[in-house]
Structure 1
Amino acid sequence: MPSRPRTLPLTAAVLTALTAGALVVDLARPGELSDPVRDAVATVVAPVQAVLAGGDDARVAELTRERDALAGEVTRLEEQARRHEQLRTLDRSTTWGDHRLLPARVVAFAPATSPVGGRTVTVDVGAQDGVALDQTVVSAEGLVGRVLRVAPRSADVLLLGDADVVVGVRYGTEGALGSVRAGGAPGLPPRAHGELTLTALGDSPIGVGDEVTTLGSPDDRPYVARVPLGTVTAVDPDRGQLGRTAVVTPHVDTDVLDLVAVVFVEGRQR
């Protein structure tokens, strides 16, 4: 009967093939299909690993490194698949305009109390990618903010909900005009974290459930038109304030931003 050291190459080949098989399935069909395959591979590999535990220490260490490397590759491919799905979702969501989007990942943030000023996030694209001041930034859910500062390979985005941000909007089925900003006016009920205040420009009524979208800016900066912003969740009582007001819950939760996109208006040079 062959000694144990001679059986290790065959065992290693079986282990590597099974792990690679799981990797291929992950790459081809990430999601529900890969989970049963992973479970099956784990069931088969566990006894093999137990056999290897009695083998040569150096060989076991080598196999362990190979296994860990393959596991790292699976993780990388899963992240890549997740990013591609986010990009597809982002692309499908931008039915509000024929604009080109530059995907970007949020890599840092600064609170409103930061010395540089403003509640911002930093994204991993910048001037070398064509990013310029006052471009609109969106996510799959809607408006995120606008570009505040640009470096060669990064940019700071001033977020919707910062105290200094005021956005012209339309609301309701008739597209009535108004503006949205953080916080409330004197005499209005306090706002919860993240809630915004809609102030109507005229006397058009505001109703709970009204959708709020960007009005658009001259030259499309800092905000392009028709980007979803939020939903009216409460209407303030009339307390003599100028203009009707209401509470708006934004579509984008800026506390958990990940993948966003800088909007390039058609015809502009990137």
Structure 2
Amino acid sequence: MSNTYEAPRRLIKSAEDIEKMRVAGRLAAEVLDMIKPHIVPGVTTLELDTICHDYIVNKQDAIPACLGYGAAPGRPAFQHVICTSVNHVVCHGVPSENKVLKKGDILNIDVTVIKDGFHGDTNMMYLVGGETSILANRLCNVAQEAMYRGMAVVKPGATMGDIGHAIQKYVESERFSVVREYCGHGIGTTFHDEPQVLHYGQPNTGMILEEGMTFTIEPMVNAGVWQTKLLGDKWTVVTKDHKLSAQYEHTLLVTKTGVEVLTARPEEDLSRFNV
């Protein structure tokens, strides 16, 4: 029995859809660049959220996808435009006036922008004060490279398992761990769509990639164990052992020959990828 399967036709984007995805992706990437000079010791994560809200709504004339998102039984809707995950927070950190950043902290900002009905989703790590510990710096570098390793196998005919395997193999070779409970996802007019993009797995398994698919790769890499814990606010996810965690994310398009990074930032060297 085959361990692979084809994508539903609805997941293949049209040329018009892809153009709109490029715009949304570019706007999301711009937010991460815009906020960079504001990330200094003494700033609160709520202040960063307010700056991003004003930029997305007033400068980009776009919609912050996270604001009001995700209400479920026992869980309130998210009330902010960015997720701010500091140090041992894995993902979905809630901005707060009480969370004051300190020199040496590592911070992930995750932002999703909606423009003309399409989503652009991206995140990255920041070193507060411009420097951090050797361990934290290496963890951030490995998380980014893990994302790139996953992106490097994206092309028509590859599988989701190929992506997860490339990420897991690299991260574990660096003596870190990959979070299992949270993953990447399909994206377009829907924020979180099929397929689930696991950051661990076996080659030649899962959905087969096809030209026109769009999804995120966003590995969460922990300095200790991969297990996590959900806090009482029902959003903030932390490492179970309270060791550091880092994450990077891009929204991607499968092209005829490889991958296009829809949320590419100006400082990135993406020359290794085939468009």
Whether TM-score is above 0.5 comes out as no
- Please report the TM-score for the alignment, with normalisation by the length of structure 2: 0.22
Higher normalized helix content (fraction of residues): 1
Greater relative contact order, per chain length (Cα 8 Å cut-off, separation 6+): 2
